[in-house]
Chain A
Amino acid sequence: MSSLLAWPILLPVATAVSTLLSRSSARGANNLALGGAFLHVIAAGTLFYQVHRNGILAVQMGNWPAPFGITLVADHLSAVMVIITAAINLAVVAYSRADIDAALSARGYYALLQTLTGGICGAFLTGDLFNLYVWFEVMLMASFGLLVLGQDRSQLDGGVKYVVINLFSTLLMLTGIGLLYGLTGTLNMADLHLKVQSIGDRGLVTAIAMLFMGAFGIKSALFPLFFWLPASYHTPPVPVSAIFSGLLTKVGVYALIRMFTLVFDLNIAYSHTVLLSIAALTMITGVLGAAAHNEFRRILSFHIISQVGYMVLGLALNSSLALAGAVFYLIHHIIVKANLFLVSGLVRRVGGAFELPRLGGIYKSHGWIALLFFIPAFSLAGFPPLSGFWAKMILIRASLEIGHYLVAVIAAVVGLFTVYSMTKIWGEAFWKPDPAAGGSVEKGKIERLSAWMVAPVAGLALLTVVIGLGVEPFFKIAMAAAEELRNPEIYLKAVLGPQ
């Protein structure tokens, strides 16, 4: 029962080791990774079921009682994030079977991918601040490797920028952790919640909170710290950019939500006002950046930024409905965004390019790819009845309830601009006549599609439709997560025991 919490971390790590040993055979490594990813989904599903039924689960590693030992905790938010991570991991591994060649596999592609998944799940499940730092590092190391594995010029260029800024953000986080430990003498997040309240010098706590906001702000690509993201996310192989786009920035958002609801929940008037203006600016700059670009994956990269703004908006508004909106947005966004990147890979295969001016006529030649693009793209833009519509509606309603009318307007207008750049991709890549027909455009190799690539895209698109049409249970889960976030006593009781 208590080992339930460790499985979502141990399974990917074990899979990583076994795929590393069998990396010489691309097919063999993929089989192992597929098996591991499948078991991971089951483990994450069981964990979620237990959390949903019995409330927050916590386990002390090595039987050292909290707050001294390292605690693993799963509340609704963590459990939801873990199960989505498992789903995206499965989709990406299946997609990789057709898209990753033997050379990349031999360099340890699957081992890095599974280490990344393990690190992400570790970050979601840990209840210890220093342990969170360690999981961030595991995740970063694996992502550095995946990003530059192809050793393409543009990958190395994007990789330098990605590595530089992420290392800096990790150092900010480590500084924050060190100072917070010096101030409170504890690293357990539940214990921190109690200890921080008894500190007289509130200014010092706020200063440390800002260090964490800077660190996680870089990780989650908030305004004005997002420049590393569009510089690098379009360079690695498609499955890698899909898992990056779906999960990496969202770990930053998760850490922000966790820290600013559990530990730094005292000076809300200051920190959440800062978050609110950052959220609004992030939404606007992201969507404007997307409007200016002409490369499939770079447009999508800028949309990650603008969408992260919505999630942080939910955190900044800090009501139950707003936090539920943020959690719902996370669920919706991870699925949709990873799927859009996978679709960009399908388009490249049949169209031979990522650049919109070089593409065209795919609606005519491959109408079903157009449909598979249409579902996540218009869910992202917020068309009813797809999942993005509900996510935006909850957040806009929450901001209206609190009386932040300007933010509500911004959120709605940014949605409109999202439609603009989605229709740009639609018009250029799908509807426009194929420019290669006139012979004026040079194109890359047109490759065959495989069922292994189409199935994950179709599965994730189906999930988007299911969330959109049967929104009720997903909204209830988001509300349950928000209630736990709003009442830290529940979390404290699970970790530290009844007091």
Chain B
Amino acid sequence: METVFAVLVGAMVTGAIYLMLDRNLIRFIFGLVLISNAVNLMIFTVGRLDSSRPPLIPDDSTVPAAHLANALPQALVLTAIVIGFALLAFVFVLFYRAYQEIGTVDTEKMRVAEPEDGLELMTPTEKAGAQR
């Protein structure tokens, strides 16, 4: 079972890296979604996968029985999903705002902060206006 998941995670990461290497930010964001899910799945897998029982200690004993499910990776994945979701929402809005302001999603053409002549393209008056 672990082998299948390992191969699946590998395939997801491969696809994600391919997408993230694209200059288009839309493709990048799909890659990001894919890779963060791959990492979550990976954490889930390292906590061992078998058809085990819930991690509860029976009333009449003080130690848990063998072959219990490992609850910790699930807690970790849950945390990672929540954080990842918030970050993803932020990234979507940021990319959309950047597209509105700069007018492109091609990262090669996004040179506002790093103009090729080494100096800021905007005149100081424009800058002062933009800071308002």
- Residues of chain A having any CB pair with chain B under 8 Å: 101, 103, 130, 134, 137, 140-141, 144, 148, 150-161, 163-164, 167-168, 171, 174-175, 177-179, 181-183, 230-232, 234-235, 237, 292-295, 352-355, 357-358, 442-445
Contact = CB atoms under 8 A, between A and B. Distances in A.
Contacts of B46: 178-179, 181-183
A488 B113 CA distance: 44
Contacts of A157: 98, 102, 110-114
Contact of A156 (B102, B111, B125, B131): B102
B47 A158 contact: no
Contact of A355 (B95, B102, B113, B119): B119
B128 interface: yes
Given A156-B94, A178-B39, A181-B73, A103 B124 contact: no
Contact of B130 (A140, A153, A231, A293): A153
25 contacts: A141-B87, A148-B94, A151-B101, A153-B102, A155-B113, A156-B94, A156-B112, A157-B98, A157-B102, A157-B113, A160-B107, A168-B20, A171-B35, A171-B36, A178-B43, A182-B45, A234-B113, A237-B131, A292-B118, A295-B120, A442-B123, A442-B124, A442-B125, A444-B125, A445-B124
B42 A178 contact: yes
Contact of B113 (A232, A352, A358, A445): A232
Contact of A141 (B20, B90, B98, B102): B90
B76 interface: yes
B20 A159 contact: no
Nearest to A227: B114
A103 B87 contact: no
Chain B interface SS verdict (over half): helix
B83 A137 contact: yes
Contacts of B119: 294-295, 355, 357
A357 B120 CA distance: 11
Interface string B29-46: 000100110010011011
Contact of A181 (B43, B90, B120): B43
Interface of B: 20, 25, 28, 32, 35-36, 39, 42-43, 45-47, 72-73, 76, 79-80, 83, 86-87, 90-91, 94-95, 97-98, 101-102, 107, 110-114, 118-120, 122-125, 127-128, 130-132
Instruction: Name the 6 nearest CB pairs between A and B, nearest first.
Output: A182-B46, A444-B124, A178-B43, A158-B113, A157-B112, A154-B113
Given A154-B112, A171-B35, 15 more contacts: A130-B76, A140-B87, A144-B94, A152-B127, A157-B110, A157-B111, A160-B107, A174-B80, A177-B76, A178-B76, A181-B47, A181-B76, A230-B114, A231-B113, A444-B127
Given A167-B87, A235-B113, A293-B118, A443 B124 contact: yes
B124 to A, nearest CB: 3
Contacts of B130: 150, 152-153
A230 B118 CA distance: 12
Contacts of B47: 181-182
A160 B28 CA distance: 11
A159 B127 CA distance: 17
Contacts of A444: 124-125, 127-128
A354 B113 CA distance: 13
Contacts of B76: 130, 177-178, 181
A153 B47 CA distance: 44
A299 to B, nearest CB: 11
A355 B94 contact: no
A163 B94 contact: yes
